């Protein structure tokens, strides 16, 4: 299996999988912002990006898919999905900017994925095909653009699509909807944005960021927290400690065990610039001389969304009518057969 270009269709479908619900009205604009903020924060706080390029997560996919959750933050996993969506957001915003709002990633998709209405075909593609098609839409050094984001080690997540669209990634005490849903599905407590730990509801340590406070204090995957500041573990006790850390500086004492061994660690929550209850979200920015451009891009996006919704609705109606006709024909044939018998 050759997975080097998985970031193309998997990353692009992840991006479109967030854009289309917003365009069709299934998501609100805030839902889209929350989704992109959650992705941006996850990969900005990922330690593995300091040594491993994004393309390597695609090349090694057959080995990483069955890998355990432990140490995922440091070794990375199938990041070409979600981080790929950030790369394509960046490309989308760049195309809109350089074409003064006349073109977008939609035009790339038409050229790259479009074609005559035929039976299913297997059409392979190369990195050069992607670069050349992007250049057909808007001339730019797309080879360098993609190489820097995909094939080279990048210490920071590709957030230019967010900032270029007039937004910025911020951390607040208000829970991010997508992160909260992820915690509910995994039965976890996500503290990766603050002390750098992913915990289970029962206190088990799923993962840590080696560069942040939890790992530096001695917490590691496989351990299980038993007490927080002398109180028996529970998520309520943890959140109470987090709330107290926001009000007054102090060192939190955490006891944990691994098999028959116990360990006591100290985590200074209040030293972090973002508190454990912080959640990633997008906030508007004011850019001198770019307000009209940003507003125009957003207006264009809304118009494209209406067109896309109209086309989607028309196709759905056609499919319903087609299926209704087929069903009516089957009923008629069955009735005729029944009457003959």
Is the same domain home to 184 and 155?
Answer: no
Residue 190 maps to which CATH number?
A: 2.30.42.10
Is the same domain home to 229 and 109?
Answer: no
pLDDT at 339 over 90: no
The better pLDDT of the pair 204, 284 is held by: 204
Domain boundary among 238, 253, 279: 279
Is the same domain home to 10 and 135?
Answer: yes
Residue 246: the pLDDT is 73
Is the same domain home to 184 and 275?
Answer: yes
Q: Which two tokens stand for residue 167?
A: 């937004």
* Residue-wise pLDDT tens digits, 52-67: 999 999 999 888 888 8
Question: Does any domain span residue 293?
Answer: no
Question: Does any domain span residue 70?
Answer: yes
Residue 296: the pLDDT is 37
Residue 68: the pLDDT is 86
Domain boundary among 246, 279, 312: 279
Domain boundary among 263, 279, 295: 279
Question: Does any domain span residue 170?
Answer: no
Is the same domain home to 34 and 122?
Answer: yes
Residue 67: the pLDDT is 85
> What is the overall mean pLDDT for the chain?
83
**Residue 321 — very low, low, confident or very high, per pLDDT cuts 50/70/90?**
low
Question: Does any domain span residue 335?
Answer: no
Is the same domain home to 17 and 147?
Answer: yes
pLDDT > 70: what percent of the chain? 77
Is the same domain home to 21 and 122?
Answer: yes
From residue 176, how far is each of 65, 172, 186, 281 by CA, in Å? 26, 9, 15, 6
Residue 266: the pLDDT is 86
**Residue 242 — very low, low, confident or very high, per pLDDT cuts 50/70/90?**
confident
Is the same domain home to 128 and 195?
Answer: no
- Determine the Cα–Cα distance for residues 105 and 174; give it in Å rounded to an integer: 32
Residue 56: the pLDDT is 95
DSSP state of 190: E
Residues 6+ apart with CB under 8 A from 208: 71, 73, 196, 197, 198, 214, 215, 219, 220, 221
pLDDT at 307 over 60: no
Question: Which secondary-structure segment (H or E) carries 332?
Answer: helix 291-340
Question: Does any domain span residue 60?
Answer: yes
DSSP result, 227-248:
EETTEE--HHHHHHHHHHHHHS
Highest mean pLDDT among 34-43, 111-120, 250-259: 34-43
**Residue 171 — very low, low, confident or very high, per pLDDT cuts 50/70/90?**
confident
Is the same domain home to 67 and 212?
Answer: no
Q: Which two tokens stand for residue 154?
A: 């990048």
pLDDT at 36 over 70: yes
Range of the domain at 33: 6-165
DSSP result, 302-324:
HHHHHHHHHHHHHHHHHHHHHHH
Question: Does any domain span residue 132?
Answer: yes
Residue 333: the pLDDT is 64
- Please state whether beta strands 224-228 and 231-232 pair in parallel, antiparallel, or not at all (unpaired): antiparallel
Question: Does any domain span residue 1?
Answer: no
The better pLDDT of the pair 306, 204 is held by: 204
Question: Does any domain span residue 305?
Answer: no
Is the same domain home to 108 and 10?
Answer: yes
- Determine the Cα–Cα distance for residues 165 and 284; give it in Å rounded to an integer: 9
Is the same domain home to 188 and 115?
Answer: no
CA angle 330/331/333 to nearest 5° reads: 65
Is the same domain home to 212 and 157?
Answer: no
**Residue 239 — very low, low, confident or very high, per pLDDT cuts 50/70/90?**
confident
Burial class (CB in 10 A: 0-12, 13-18, 19+), 199: buried
Residues 6+ apart with CB under 8 A from 7: 54, 55, 58, 80, 83, 84, 87, 150
The better pLDDT of the pair 203, 285 is held by: 203
Q: How many domains does the chain have?
A: 2
């Amino acid at each position: 299996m050759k997975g080097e270009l998985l970031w193309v269709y998997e990353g692009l479908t992840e991006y479109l999988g967030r854009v289309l619900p917003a365009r069709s009205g299934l998501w609100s604009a805030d839902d889209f912002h929350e989704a992109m903020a959650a992705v941006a924060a996850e990969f900005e706080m990922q330690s593995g990006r300091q040594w491993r390029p994004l393309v390597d997560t695609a090349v090694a996919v057959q080995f990483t898919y069955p890998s355990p959750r432990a140490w995922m933050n440091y070794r990375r996993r199938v990041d070409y999905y979600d981080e790929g969506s950030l790369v394509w957001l960046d490309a989308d915003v760049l195309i809109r900017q350089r074409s003064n709002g006349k073109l977008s990633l939609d035009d790339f998709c038409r050229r790259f994925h479009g074609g005559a209405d035929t039976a299913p075909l297997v059409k392979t593609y190369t990195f050069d095909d992607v670069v050349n098609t992007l250049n057909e839409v808007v001339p730019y050094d797309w080879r360098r653009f993609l190489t820097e984001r995909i094939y080279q080690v990048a210490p920071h997540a590709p957030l230019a699509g967010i900032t270029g669209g007039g937004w910025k990634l911020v951390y607040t005490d208000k829970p991010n909807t997508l992160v909260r849903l992820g915690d509910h599905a995994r039965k976890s407590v996500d503290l990766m944005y603050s002390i750098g730990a992913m915990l289970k509801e029962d206190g088990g340590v799923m993962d840590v960021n080696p560069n942040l406070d939890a790992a530096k204090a001695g917490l590691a995957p496989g351990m299980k927290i038993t007490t927080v500041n002398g109180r028996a573990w529970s998520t309520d006790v943890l959140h109470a400690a987090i709330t107290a850390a926001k009000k007054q500086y102090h060192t939190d004492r955490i006891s944990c065990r691994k098999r028959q061994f116990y360990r006591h660690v100290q985590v200074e929550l209040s030293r972090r610039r973002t508190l454990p209850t912080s959640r990633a979200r997008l906030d508007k920015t004011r850019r001198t001389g770019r307000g009209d451009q940003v507003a125009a891009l957003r207006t264009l996006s809304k118009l494209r969304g209406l067109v896309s919704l109209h086309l989607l609705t028309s196709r759905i109606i056609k499919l319903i009518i087609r299926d209704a006709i087929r069903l009516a024909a089957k009923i008629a044939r069955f009735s005729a057969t029944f009457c003959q018998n």
